[in-house]
Amino acid sequence: MVTLYQFEISPFCDKIRRVLHVKGVDYTTREISMQDAVTKVRKVNPVGKLPAIEHEGRRFGDSTDIAYYLEERFPEPRLLPSDPRERALCHVLEDWADESLYFYEMFLRFTLGHNAARWVPLLCANDSEIVSRAARFVIPRHMKAILVKQGLGRKSRKQVMADLRRHFEALDGMLSTGPWLVGSSMTLADIAVFVQFACICGTKEGAATLTDFERVGLWMQRVETATAKPDSGSKPALAR
Ligand SMILES: N[C@@H](CCC(=O)N[C@@H](CS)C(=O)NCC(=O)O)C(=O)O
């Protein structure tokens, strides 16, 4: 049994849940509240981020490391291509998702007031009322500070939205030759990119942009269906 330490609405935690679903691995989740984040996260991952997993006495974090570990321990069905070029492309696309797209979802969900009003309470679903109330003020500012350091937070909203549209166009272009991003079957690249776009499309602006990209919408449905929790029917694992 795998134990997944998570913030439920984190795209990286969603990535690992979906890998576990595809591979049919039994797992249990331990939700970390915002209140406990500072003390508890470092106990399971010294880097201080989630997801982290515990399996057969080993605990470690980083969604890419976890996904590669799961691929090794539970090889079927394969999510990493064996062809070297495809494997490399899969890695580069996962990195695009984790290191670039992530900041767009952070910008949209947590720094725009109307979206933050929905997402901050979900982030604090396991916290006391007082922490939850404080978070409504603190989280958008904390995320904004991260984004200013990263760079995206120094751009105007209009510039960020233009950048985001370019990312939608890039994804749409990649899907113009086949149903999956790399090779002829779903890979970790599809899952990693999907979870970030799912968060992006969980915002007013992201959902509006998606309506211009039918092919992206169809791919999202494909990935959702292929990676949903086996007993969850058609209900998305990540509320959008
Ligand atoms: N590269 C890491 C990123 C994980 C990450 O940024 N997780 C966020 C939640 S979405 C986190 O734990 N943030 C807490 C922090 O940075 O202090 C991965 O792939 O696991």
The pLDDT tens digits along the chain (240 residues) read 999 999 999 999 999 999 999 999 999 999 999 998 888 999 999 999 999 999 999 999 999 999 999 999 999 999 999 999 999 999 999 999 999 999 999 999 999 999 999 999 999 999 999 999 999 999 999 999 999 999 999 999 999 999 999 999 999 999 999 999 999 999 999 999 999 999 999 999 999 999 999 999 999 999 999 999 998 765 554 444
- Calculate how far, in angstroms, residue 211's C-alpha sits from the geometric centre of ligand 1: 29
C-alpha dist (Å) from residue 166 to 63, 75, 111, 195: 25, 35, 21, 18
pTM: 0.96
The protein residue with its alpha carbon nearest to ligand 1, atom 5, reads: 49
- Calculate how far, in angstroms, residue 49's C-alpha sits from the geometric centre of ligand 1: 4
Atom of ligand 1 nearest to the CA of 41: 12
10 Å CB burial of residue 61 (0-12, 13-18, 19+) is buried
Q: What Rg, from alpha-carbon coordinates, does the chain have?
A: 17
How many residues comprise the chain?
Answer: 240
- Calculate how far, in angstroms, residue 237's C-alpha sits from the geometric centre of ligand 1: 19
Place of tokens 């937070």: 153
**Chain centre distance of CA 169:** 19
Estimate the crossing angle of helix 63-73 against helix 188-200, to 10 degrees.
140
- Calculate how far, in angstroms, residue 61's C-alpha sits from the geometric centre of ligand 1: 9
The protein residue with its alpha carbon nearest to ligand 1, atom 11, reads: 49
- Calculate how far, in angstroms, residue 121's C-alpha sits from the geometric centre of ligand 1: 18
**Residue to probe by mutation, ligand 1, list 12, 94, 109, most atoms within 8 Å of CB:** 12
CATH of 84-227, one of 3.40.1590.10, 1.10.600.10, 1.20.1050.10, 3.30.420.40: 1.20.1050.10
pLDDT of residue 231: 81
CATH of 2-73, one of 3.10.28.10, 3.40.109.10, 3.40.30.10, 3.40.50.1370: 3.40.30.10
Q: Where are the domains of the chain?
A: 2-73, 84-227
